[in-house]
């Protein structure tokens, strides 16, 4: 592959009068000296085509998505460019016309679908009102229209369902109602902003399938915004990769996934786990620069492993790599081919001798009178990672909370190094509390906002009498180094850190107690794939170097393949299948496991 002369290639020939064409779009912050949030953006969305827009948090994806509706968040303005829809520039239309187009012809499905539904109005009435508002159908036909809309997204459309309120639906159902509402006015274009984040794999699989089919059968031009490359690999026809407010690579999905040309795309692909093979994941050092602090030259140069001197001085343009495939890099065609098998590592040996540290026997767990976990038996060996996998409500977090001493309503036995663990953490010895550390899913809620990072990480050392004073501070610095944060953050409060950085602090705090078992509760699910990659690599180092064992709760089977040796598949509070990761994932016996594997988005 070789680079050609700089030239903007939007990835396909624009078809005027259909879909959406974005030309040279710039969104800026006038209040901050006019710094760019997004700039130099050219993109074409064809009817019946899904374009995946990917990149880390802060890359400008949502800004692009809302700009397609002629909208920006408070404080930002679209100060340059065109958004052509049916030969009209949205940015030059009176606001009444733009308002009319929004929702009717260009629809938006938000990340939080519940925000799109009125909690006080029954689902059926909301759909009928929408049709009424848009002047679609007659008073008699609207109810049937609402039923058809629900059936189209795979939801029940009987009277009982129509009478429900939003709070009486599951997360997946709410998401599909939001989709039905977006499709009812038969829009020509659709912006989907991380619409499946937070859904379990089965629901996500169903929603993705429905979305793809609806877009293609209705000829809708769709932009699918996500940080999850595996989802894009499943739904998109073309992919645009964004970094620091610009598209850095654009092309057909197969081309971008098989022959990524931009070092950033390659680094993202190196960060993601595969279902079919264990991989040594790697993160991307540093973080996406915020508007106003983006470096000169190539915006990626301070994180790029291929950077050369001129990358810091010369601003790269989007150049054509092959027809329909372009990348914004000075060294396009000079950095060699990307090798998908580079990170592949052998699966954990299923026959390896095991020395259990944690043994759960016949565990029943209750919330009040209802039993939510039924007779679960499992163990975790020293220096081993055991994954607990299942959909929402399968009981995986409940089991891990019992192990962590955070839930007391259970019967059965939980033994740690042969000794029975009492139920609540208060009833446990300080040594047990020290040796079993829990890391929570949400790093935004698990760190005390009033304390500095130094105080947060020091706390377990003081609590368990491990170290104090200067010795403890030195140890904090050491731990922050281990989690790749460094001493610069010592005096910060958590609010100054990104989600990934906060989760590293939470890991450092857990390590400060010198634990033997980490209970990791969906600890990477809220993070970018690049941060997930670096955290998984950190945990793997800790397992090897310190012999730490881990109970790893997740719904991501691909991640299980890369991090765990054994897996327990849970459904409705029961273990339905268990064994070594390689056995369960290569030759699943149970239909439920097969379904989970089939619904997991895959890039391999
Ligand atoms: Fe890396 Fe240089 Fe290419 Fe930027 S221009 S992506 S720094 S090689």
**pLDDT at position 411 over 60:** yes
Over residues 16-40, mean pLDDT? 86
DSSP codes of every residue in 460-498: HHHHTTS--HHHHHHHHHHHHHHTT--GGGTT-BGGGS-
Mutation probe of ligand 1 site: the residue of 307, 313, 336 with most atoms within 8 A of C-beta? 307
Examine the pLDDT at 409 and tell me if it is beyond 80: yes
Please check the confidence at residue 11 and state whether its pLDDT lies above 90: no
Atom of ligand 1 nearest to the CA of 330: 5
User: 301 in ligand 1 pocket by Cβ < 6 Å?
Assistant: yes
**Ligand 1 within 6 A of CB of 307:** yes
User: What digits encode the pLDDT tens for the residues 498-515?
Assistant: 777 888 899 999 999 999
| Domains and their CATH numbers in the chain | 1-105+188-345 (3.40.50.300), 115-186 (no CATH), 356-443+515-599 (3.40.50.300)
**If you take atom 6 of ligand 1, which residue's CA is the nearest one?**
329
Q: What is the mean pLDDT of the chain?
A: 89
Q: How far is the CA of 536 from the centre of ligand 1 (A)?
A: 26
Q: Which residues contact 376 (CB under 8 A, 6 or more apart)?
A: 360, 362, 363, 395, 399, 412, 568, 570, 573, 574, 575
Task: Tell me the CA distances in angstroms from 506 to 305, 340, 402, 442, 480, one per residue in order.
Answer: 28, 32, 20, 10, 10
Kindly tell me if the per-residue pLDDT of 56 is higher than 70.
yes
The secondary element (H helix, E strand) that includes residue 238 is strand 238-243
pLDDT tens digits, one per residue of 501-556: 888 899 999 999 999 999 999 888 777 888 888 889 889 988 999 899 999 999 88
Query: How many angstroms separate the alpha carbon of residue 100 from the centre of ligand 1?
Result: 43
Beta bridge partner(s), residue 566: 386, 580
pLDDT exceeds cutoff 90 at 137: no
Q: Note the pLDDT of residue 313.
A: 96
Does any ligand 1 atom lie closer than 6 A to the CB of residue 306?
yes
pLDDT tens-place string over residues 424-454: 999 999 999 999 999 998 888 889 999 999 9
Q: Give the distance (Å) from ligand 1 centre to CA of residue 30.
A: 29
Is 244 close to ligand 1, i.e. is its CB under 6 Å away? no
Q: What is the mean pLDDT of residues 82-89?
A: 91
Residue with tokens 């995946």: 52
The verdict on the CB of residue 330 being under 6 Å from ligand 1 is yes
pLDDT for position 31: 82
Is residue 495's pLDDT more than 80? Answer: yes
Is 333 a pocket residue for ligand 1 (Cβ < 6 Å)? no
Rounded to the nearest angstrom, the distance between the alpha carbon of 310 and the centre of ligand 1 is 9
Q: How far is the CA of 524 from the centre of ligand 1 (A)?
A: 28
User: Residues near 594 by Cβ (< 8 Å), separated by ≥ 6?
Assistant: 588
Task: Give the pLDDT confidence score for residue 2 in this predicted structure.
Answer: 38
Ligand 1 atom showing the smallest separation from residue 304 Cα: 1
Query: CA 220, CA 19: separation in Å to the nearest integer?
Result: 8
Does the pLDDT value for residue 264 go beyond 50?
A: yes
Block residue for tokens 């190539």: 298
321-348 pLDDT, tens digit each: 999 999 999 999 899 999 888 888 888 7
- Helix (H) / strand (E) containing 62: helix 61-67
More confident residue, 275 or 11: 275
The structure's pTM equals: 0.86
């Amino acid at each position: 592959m070789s680079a050609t002369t700089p030239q903007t290639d939007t990835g396909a020939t624009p078809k005027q009068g259909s879909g959406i064409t974005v030309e040279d779009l710039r969104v800026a912050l006038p209040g901050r000296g006019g710094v760019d949030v997004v700039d130099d953006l050219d993109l074409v969305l064809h009817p019946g085509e899904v374009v995946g827009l990917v990149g880390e948090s802060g890359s400008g994806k949502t800004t692009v998505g809302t700009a397609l509706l002629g909208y920006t968040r408070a404080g930002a303005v679209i100060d340059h460019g065109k958004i052509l829809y049916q030969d009209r520039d949205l940015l030059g239309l009176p606001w009444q016309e733009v308002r009319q187009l929004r929702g009717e012809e260009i629809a938006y499905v938000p990340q939080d679908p519940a925000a799109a539904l009125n909690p006080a109005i029954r689902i059926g009435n909301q759909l009928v009102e929408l049709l009424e508002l848009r002047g679609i159908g007659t008073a008699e036909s609207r109810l049937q229209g609402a039923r058809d809309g629900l059936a189209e997204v795979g939801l029940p459309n009987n009277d009982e369902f129509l009478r429900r309120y939003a709070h009486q639906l599951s997360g997946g159902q709410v998401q599909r109602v939001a989709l039905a509402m977006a499709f009812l006015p038969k829009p020509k274009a659709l912006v989907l902003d991380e619409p499946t984040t937070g859904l379990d794999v089965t629901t996500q699989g169903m929603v993705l399938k429905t979305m793809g089919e609806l877009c293609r059968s209705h000829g809708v031009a769709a932009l699918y915004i996500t940080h999850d490359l595996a989802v894009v690999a499943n739904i998109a026809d073309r992919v645009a990769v964004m970094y620091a407010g610009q598209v850095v690579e654009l092309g057909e999905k197969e081309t971008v996934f098989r022959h990524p040309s931009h070092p950033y795309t390659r680094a993202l692909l190196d960060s993601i786990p595969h279902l079919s093979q264990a991989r040594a994941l790697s993160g991307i050092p540093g973080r996406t620069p915020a508007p106003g602090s983006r470096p000169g030259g190539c915006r990626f140069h301070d994180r790029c492993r291929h950077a050369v001197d001129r990358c810091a001085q010369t601003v790269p343009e989007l150049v054509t790599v092959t027809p329909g495939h372009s990348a914004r890099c000075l060294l396009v065609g000079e950095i060699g081919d990307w090798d998908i098998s580079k990170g592949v590592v052998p699966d954990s040996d299923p026959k390896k001798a095991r020395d259990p540290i944690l043994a759960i026997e016949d565990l029943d767990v209750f919330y009040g009178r209802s039993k939510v976990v039924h007779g679960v038996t499992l163990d975790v060996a020293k220096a081993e990672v055991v994954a607990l996998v299942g959909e929402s409500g399968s009981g995986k977090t409940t089991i891990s909370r019992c192990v962590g001493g955070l839930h007391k309503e259970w019967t059965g036995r939980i033994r740690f190094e042969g000794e029975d663990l009492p139920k609540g953490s208060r009833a446990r010895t300080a040594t047990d509390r020290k040796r079993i550390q829990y890391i929570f899913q949400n790093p935004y809620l698990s760190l005390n906002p009033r304390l500095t990072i130094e105080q947060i990480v020091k706390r377990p050392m003081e609590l368990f009498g491990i170290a104090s004073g200067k010795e403890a501070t030195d140890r904090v610095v050491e731990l922050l180094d281990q989690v790749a944060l460094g001493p610069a953050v010592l005096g910060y409060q958590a609010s100054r850190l990104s989600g990934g950085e906060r989760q590293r602090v939470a890991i450092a705090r857990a390590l400060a107690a010198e634990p033997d078992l980490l209970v990791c509760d969906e600890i990477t699910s809220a993070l970018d794939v690049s941060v997930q990659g670096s955290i998984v690599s950190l945990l793997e180092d800790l397992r090897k170097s310190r012999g730490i064992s881990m109970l790893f709760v997740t719904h991501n089977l691909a991640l299980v393949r890369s991090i765990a040796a054994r897996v327990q598949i849970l459904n409705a509070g029961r273990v339905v299948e268990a064994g070594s990761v390689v056995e369960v994932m290569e030759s699943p016996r149970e239909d439920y496991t097969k379904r989970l594997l089939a619904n997991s988005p895959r890039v391999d």
